Amino acid sequence: MINFNELSRGICSGYVYNFQQVVFLRLSMMQNISRNRRDIFVILALLFFTFAVYSQGFNHDFVNFDDPKYVIENPDVRSGLSLKGTVWAFTTTHASNWHPLTWLSHMLDIELFGLSAGWHHMTSLLFHIFNTLLLFFVLQRMTKAFYRSLFVAALFALHPLHVESVAWIAERKDVLSTFFWMLVMYSYVLYVERPLWSRYCFILLFFILGLLSKPMLVTLPFVLLLLDFWPLKRFKLAERTSSKDGDSDKTLPLSRLIVEKIPLFVIVILFSTVTFFAQQKGGAVVSLAKSPFNLRLENSFVSYIRYIIKMFWPFNLSVFYPPSARTLSIWLAGGAVFLLLVITIFVLRKIKSHPYLSVGWFWYVGTLVPVIGLVQVGAQSMADRYTYIPIIGLFILLAWGIADALKKWKYSKAVLSFSGGIILITLTICSWVQTGYWKNSITLFEHAINVTSHNYMAHYNLGIALSDQERYGEALSHLQETIKIRPYHYQAHKNLGIILGQRGNLKESVYHLEKAIRIKPDYADAHVNLGVALNRLGRSEEAVEHYYKALTMEPDDANTHFNLGVALARIGSLDNAVFHFKEALAINPDDIDARDNLDTLLKIMEEGSRYSR
């Protein structure tokens, strides 16, 4: 017999249950929509502030430090994209590097925007924004920690240490190579989620493209191993074999993970070899005689700590940090080693309970190895641009470490939100100010002189910039200061000689040009300008000798042929003068002075021939 009371109660309870489920689902959907809107809002806010900081670059110029050799005085790049230019990009070691994809990116900018510096700056900013987004998406996908991932991405986007990589057109290789670094990481996460050969091929593709942009990616396979440990948890230490995390079935032997990356290590060896020979051929690798290994080692330890200090206190940043004295203070070097050991021991002790500390720390230490100075490339003791990728490790360490340290505190969310906002606002202001120094060469190097001492490179480049604006008195003082700091700076001697010659002080001009040649005998430009000064002093036969020496080094220089023609005509060697004027016109058909001088000489020779008949 049917109990209608029980049936009615059952039906009612069913309706109530279904109603509760509908309400719950509706509330969940509303919460998800609200959360999604909030997430989109904070991401858009991050992009807005990043764009606001760097968009002032649209009104900035090229600077005279590497930008000329990369773009404005590089005929192969200035020709835009072409088959000839592409072949050049893949075969040249110009600027002491082999990074064909970087050359192609500059050529594309020329093709699209010409020599409008602002658009070149915008391209670099666009890559920086892509890098920021990719970093956030990768971390969020690996860790499922939205706000910690966002905070790391925000630090990456807005930290003043990254201004150099974004605001310096010649450092396009930083933002471009990091774009492919992030694509490798994202592809790797997809591969871990579903290990397919097709997905692994994308890892290889993006890895090669990144190395074709800058060899900084040589440490990326080691970073992938770190990510295998945390947060991907693909392997565990012996002490961490417990399956309480529910992911023990995902773990693999470390040896298998290393074998998995053998193709990447092979590519690293090949690209490292090519890069070393390219830098050595270009003269960028400093010999042990000029920079002893013990000094390099000491400077490396100190630089590790200095970068950390600049991360927390990003002031007095400079485009160039002059090298230290021949020996560093033993206390300074010893203190740096001690701090590095203390931090390393601390993170290793916490490796089981807080694995992100070790991952973040060894990311920082490991990715800095190629640029820390053990193989000295360039004259700088350190460089802000070198932190573009390495400092991400410290950002991860801080974001997860601070959040975990405060998670049991009642007001942790409020404190983290408030303090995080203050930090990011402060960094935004600092980056805005730092980006402003990159407006032009004068503002950039005046700032470098103000925040560093004995900065010969800043004085030299400021002197050149002032000379370009015909502010010769100011230029002279900075070039003289360059020589005072570094007496054997042959470029400063050469440019000092040129300015003195332009001002009529020919004897001093000859002294400095001869000094430049004694320091660097194969300095063609110094030979040419010495020839000009000697010719003006009436010592044309000596001038001719220097022009011929310059031509042995640069036989296709139209200016040298022209000046040689002038000197030869002056000493009566008209036939030879005609030959070199013709050579100058063959190289540069638009040289009006060479055309006029050639026509004049031919008329004189024709009249002389008639007179002799």
What per-residue confidence (pLDDT) applies to 286?
54
Strands (E), 173-311: none
Tally helices (H) and strands (E) across the chain: 28, 0
Closest of 373, 379, 317 to residue 163, by C-alpha: 317
HSE, CB side, 13 Å, CA atoms: give it for residue 39: 16
pLDDT in tens, 419-453: 999 999 999 999 999 999 999 999 999 999 999 99
pLDDT single digits (tens) 308-355: 999 999 999 999 999 875 566 788 889 999 999 999 999 999 999 999
What CATH number should be reported for the domain whose range is 441-612?
Answer: 1.25.40.10
Q: What is the pLDDT of residue 240?
A: 45
Give residue limits of the domains in the chain: 22-237+250-439, 441-612
DSSP classification of residue 287: P
State the DSSP code for 71. Answer: I
What's the sign of the alpha-carbon dihedral 315, 321, 323, 325? negative
What number of other Cβ atoms are within 10 A of residue 603's Cβ? 10
> CA 150 to CA 134: how far, in whole Å?
11
Q: Which token pair is 126? A: 């666009």
Do the beta carbons of residue 100 and residue 212 sit within 8 Å?
A: yes
As to burial, measured by CB atoms within 10 angstroms (0-12 exposed, 13-18 middle, 19+ buried), residue 29 is exposed
Give the Cα separation of 248 and 120 in Å (integer).
Answer: 49
Predicted local distance difference test score (pLDDT) of residue 609: 62
Query: What would the mean pLDDT of 558-581 be, rounded to a whole number?
Result: 94
Residues 22, 28, 34, 39: is their CA dihedral positive or negative?
negative
Residue 31 has pLDDT above 60, yes or no: no
**Taking the CB of residue 225, how many other CB atoms lie within 10 A of it?**
19
Question: What is the mean pLDDT of the segment spanning 595-599?
Answer: 93
pLDDT at residue 2 tops 60: no
- 283 or 90, greater pLDDT: 90
Q: Taking residues 476-503, what's their average pLDDT?
A: 96
User: Which residues have C-beta within 8 Å of that of residue 341, sequence separation ≥ 6?
Assistant: none
Split at pLDDT 50, 70, 90, the class of 7 is: very low
Choose between 259 and 278: higher pLDDT. Answer: 259
Q: Which residues of 418-451 are buried (b: 16+ CB within 10 A; e: fewer)?
A: eebeebbeebbebbbebbbbbbbbbbbbebbbee
Range scoring the smallest mean pLDDT among 67-76, 373-382, 535-544: 373-382
563 closest CA partner among 534, 589, 603: 534
Task: Give the percent of the chain with pLDDT over 90.
Answer: 78
Burial class (CB in 10 A: 0-12, 13-18, 19+), 612: exposed
Question: pLDDT at position 379, please?
Answer: 74
Query: How do residues 181-231 score in pLDDT, each as one tens digit?
Result: 999 999 999 999 999 999 999 999 999 999 999 999 999 999 999 999 999
pLDDT at residue 512, as a whole number? 98
DSSP bridge pairs for 229 = none
Question: Nearest-CA neighbor of 271 among 101, 453, 452, 80?
Answer: 101
In the structure encoding, which two tokens stand for residue 613, read together?
Answer: 């008949």
24 pLDDT tier (thresholds 50, 70, 90) = very low
Phi and psi of 557, rounded to 5°?
Answer: -90, 110
What is the pLDDT at residue 328? 64
Q: Is the model's pLDDT at 167 over the cut of 60?
A: yes
Percent of the chain with pLDDT over 70: 88
Model pTM score: 0.89
